Structure 1
Amino acid sequence: MADTRVERDCLGEMEIPNDRYYGIQTTRMLGVSGAAGLPIVFYPDIFRAMARIKKAAARANAEAGALDPEIADAIVKAADRTLDGSFDKEFPLDFWQGGGYTCLNMNVNEVIGNLANEILTGHKGQDRVHPNTHVNMGQSTNDTIPSATHLAMIPRIDALRSELCDLEAAFEKKAEQFKEVVKVGRTCWQDALPLTLGQEFSGYASALRRLIRKLEHVRPECLQIVMGGTAVGTGLSTAPGYQEAFYRFISEDYGEEIQPMENLFDGFQNSDTVVTVSGVVKEIACTLAKFAKDLRIMSSGPRAGFMEIELPALSPGSSIMPGKINPTVPEMVVQIAHQVIGNDVAISVALYDGELDLNVWDATFYKCLFESFSLVEREVTIFRRDCVESITANRSRCMEEAAASIALSTIVATCYGYPTGVKVAQYAADRGCKVQDAVVELGLMTKEEADTLVNPILMTDPERIDAAAAEFKRRHANVKKA
């Protein structure tokens, strides 16, 4: 005979296997879902946040005199037991669910309820602790799910910020290593003025610092939630004093101040904070993809490409061409940007698809945003560890290209005017010679002057090249006067 228990809800009753902590409502939804083939708990952050919400609610309800302290204590202990992931198998629901994730809220209520009942009675069931009456007291799905989503973003933002700081440091270190590696700049894929490889990498580091600041800027919005608003923002079904106590307890649990949104009706109607956070994560993914594409181009070769840098060789790059090595990590970074952009579009659509007094598209928000968080956080680690930290510079190749650039004729335009600069550029192009040789052959500079002024490394330092050009013009002006 099967070991089961009977549970009841508004649709009837059902036998539930007694080795399961989830109950009747979760079981019902398991039978009618599964489109993603992936459980929500694959990204467990929302379940950790929900457990903390249930703890704070139980403590607040007990303080307000609405909940038996013994039951409240059992709920707190039960919620704590779920925080380490040991009960994650009891959260089996598929990502794509209708009903504003009511099933997720009830899944948590049932698991914590059965655990609490077991603590008090030694068995699962609803005879002492009911998932709706006790665990869900003073709450509804409509305030718990958006609030849990906000709170779940906090550790993800913090983790992503930490990884970005490490990547920024790696680029900064490379900027220092490459500070004297002069190379030709490129705009519109054409030769431009010289700069150093270190200057390019310093730009990457600076962009990361800016993105880190943007993450820090959006974080406080995640600490504003809608708990206490229950179903539509009016707070109906909460006990007097519950809301104030809840925010005190949840802040204590998180170790930082968590506040209700200024207008709970706004919080129920609009989920724009999720869109804001998604936008920053997308911006990070797109910026990293730009870096990755740059590295991919600069490392092209090894004999017929740009060949300015070398990326670490991680695996053979062809099943037919021996010795070919592909830039696998940069290409992964670009692919992840494709996915994150798609996720951000879906999140944006889910925001404006909200209607009237509740946005019910929590599944879209959560699945897409936390997939983006997970992908970007992991890619940053891989990008730093398996690519950026091991980049080396092809110094001779960089110098060769910089010295051959016709864009060096810009210094001639600075000293003699633009038309003379054009004349030198055309002369060098027609004869296939360097600008440094062209200015000497045209009688515009002595070899010593050309060696000084038409110098790629000098041109990477604005102050030094300006001073040198000014001195050249001063001397030649004195010659003319004499």
Structure 2
Amino acid sequence: METTNNTGFRVESDLIGQREIPDSDLYGVQTLRGIENFEISKFHLNEYPLFIKGLAITKMGAARANYELGLLTKQQADAIEQACREIIDGKYHDQFPVDMIQGGAGTTTNMNANEVIANRALEIMGHKRGEYTYCSPNDHVNCSQSTNDAYPTAIHIGMYFSHLRYMEHFEKLIESFERKGKEFASILKIGRTQLEDAVPMTLGQTFSGFAAILRDEIKHLNEAANDFLTINMGATAIGTGICAEPGYAEKCVAALAEITGWDIKLSDNLVGATSDTSCLVGYASALKRVAVKVNKICNDLRLLASGPRCGLGEFNLPAMQPGSSIMPGKVNPVIPEVMNQICYKVIGNELCVTMAGEAAQMELNAMEPVMAQCDFESVDLMINGFDTLRTRCVDGITANADRCREEVRNSICIVTALNPVIGYKNSTKIAKEALETGKSVYDLVLEHGILTQKDLDTILAPENMIKPVKLDIKPLK
């Protein structure tokens, strides 16, 4: 029973008993219990607007299906839909204060949505908050549903929105590396393997390589995200559809597809789908793949820009802030460093999601809340990291072309380019002598009369050292 008084509070009751709820709050007694029970983290539902949007869309789709089946009056359905629409548009998000990490397999979050939508619908219908006879969180907003189908469906929808947002920012970072690849296309440098000098390449190839390995991940990300478009609405408690009428699942899924414009489909087996959280595991793994690559790239940026005088110094990262409280003039690569740390966090989140995913028991996975928190957090962290890395680092990188040319000129490794022409034995002899005497490979080849200067210059021309070529040149001896 729900009652009102003149103290600025309303009294709501549930299985456990009665509680006073401030009249200013749209949420109700079950949300209040969740707030009190789960003071766990700093990750609250109202910090994840796309998840809240997913909840509102889920409830809107259910309301449309329930109205078609005659389970809601037109007034109730219209009021619920309007309340959901307002939440989708960003209103009342402060009324979702529950901790993302919670027991109960998401029941607190589901009831938070049910109560906020019900109380807002009551206002739209001309009633007071808490007058649940006219529109109940359980009997009307949650009609034909269980937390065990509504909550994962909301996560799927929210995560797909997050994925679309993620891809926009990811693409911009890739394009930034591609632009640098073109800008530095003519600057010859030394490539390295195992931190040792290898063979010549261009600085542009370094950056276009960064872009390429990231662009390869777009396919994997999209494939993982597509799994979110298969949902278990209509499964209710364990997948049997108890408390839902025949045809509800199909009508609800059709409504969700219409609302979102996405190709949302019903799972082939609702019992299996209700305990299966592999789509969250799969997407966390896709994010981890990106994190591993971005981490490698940021390590390379820090190494290749190290110095400025006693490091590799092939290019300059933008100076963003003083780097030391004791060493004047020191500037640190703070942007790649923070991106490294974001990658470590995303990789750690993937492990958490994996462990929680394997914790499913019988017909449900009660650990889904932490899985959702980790995936939503990883997306947000990487979006912020992508934008910071792009605008505060990559876009402003400048090349040290003279330093790169000097490295090539002084490197022993250019003898590798001579190997197909003068043979491995001659190449080894020249390399060894160059290391022992400090003379250049170029000078030693001419000194020993192995090649003419014209042929040597042809072999060592930049355009002939950065791609496969066939040269019709023979050694003199």
The answer, yes or no, to whether TM exceeds 0.5 is yes
Candidates 6, 11, 20, aligned match of 2:16: 11
Aligned to 1:24: 29
Aligned to 2:168: 162
CA distance in 2, matches of 1:439, 1:255: 68
Deviations 1:173-232 (A, max 9, x none): 111111110001110000111000111111111112111122222222111110000000
Pairs within 5 Å for 1:375-414: 375-414=381-420
Equivalent residue letter for 1:40: L
After TM superposition, the score normalised by the length of structure 2 is 0.96
SS at match of 2:134: coil
Give the C-alpha shift of residue 406 in structure 1. 0.9
Aligned to 2:350: 344
Candidates 88, 92, 100, aligned match of 1:95: 100
CA distance in 1, matches of 2:224, 2:396: 32
Match status 1:114 vs 2:119: yes
CA distance in 1, matches of 2:181, 2:351: 35
Q: 2:83 touches 2:117 (CA, 8 Å); kept in 1? A: yes
Equivalent residue letter for 1:62: Y
Q: 2:357 touches 2:368 (CA, 8 Å); kept in 1? A: no
Q: 2:46 touches 2:95 (CA, 8 Å); kept in 1? A: no
Q: 1:64 touches 1:240 (CA, 8 Å); kept in 2? A: no
Aligned to 2:361: 355
SS at match of 1:123: coil
Aligned to 2:290: 284
SS at match of 2:473: helix
Aligned to 1:297: 303
Pairs within 5 Å for 1:60-459: 60-125=65-130, 126-459=132-465
Give the C-alpha shift of residue 399 in structure 1. 0.6
Equivalent residue letter for 2:425: P
Give the C-alpha shift of residue 313 in structure 1. 0.8
Aligned to 1:51: 56
Give the C-alpha shift of residue 461 in structure 1. 3.1
Give the C-alpha shift of residue 456 in structure 1. 4.8
SS at match of 1:186: strand
Give the C-alpha shift of residue 411 in structure 1. 3.1
Q: Which runs of 5+ in 2 are unaligned?
A: 1-5
Give the C-alpha shift of residue 38 in structure 1. 3.3
CA distance in 2, matches of 1:410, 1:13: 81
Deviations 1:355-413 (A, max 9, x none): 11101112211111111000011111111111111111100100110121111112332
Equivalent residue letter for 2:359: D
CA distance in 1, matches of 2:120, 2:417: 77
Seen in structure 2, the aligned counterparts of structure 1 residues 38 and 202 have a Cα distance that, compared at 3 Å, is: closer
SS at match of 1:31: helix
Q: 2:199 touches 2:417 (CA, 8 Å); kept in 1? A: no
Q: 1:408 touches 1:456 (CA, 8 Å); kept in 2? A: no
Give the C-alpha shift of residue 426 in structure 1. 0.5
CA distance in 1, matches of 2:463, 2:409: 9
* RMSD between superposed Cα atoms in Å: 1.4
Equivalent residue letter for 2:303: I
CA distance in 1, matches of 2:141, 2:276: 26
CA distance in 2, matches of 1:122, 1:220: 41
SS at match of 1:100: coil
Q: Which moved more, 1:88-97 or 1:409-418?
A: 409-418
Q: Which runs of 5+ in 1 are unaligned?
A: none
Match status 1:40 vs 2:41: no
Q: 2:123 touches 2:129 (CA, 8 Å); kept in 1? A: yes
Q: Which moved more, 1:236-245 or 1:344-353?
A: 236-245
Aligned to 1:472: 473
Q: 1:145 touches 1:362 (CA, 8 Å); kept in 2? A: no
Q: 2:239 touches 2:270 (CA, 8 Å); kept in 1? A: yes
After TM superposition, the score normalised by the length of structure 1 is 0.95
Q: Which moved more, 1:238-247 or 1:183-192?
A: 238-247
Q: 1:117 touches 1:127 (CA, 8 Å); kept in 2? A: no
Deviations 1:43-75 (A, max 9, x none): 122211111111111111110112222111111
Deviations 1:284-335 (A, max 9, x none): 1221111111111110011110010001111111111111111111111101
Number of aligned residues: 471
SS at match of 1:86: coil
Q: 2:322 touches 2:329 (CA, 8 Å); kept in 1? A: yes
Q: 1:181 touches 1:197 (CA, 8 Å); kept in 2? A: yes
Q: 1:182 touches 1:457 (CA, 8 Å); kept in 2? A: no
CA distance in 1, matches of 2:250, 2:369: 29
Equivalent residue letter for 1:32: N
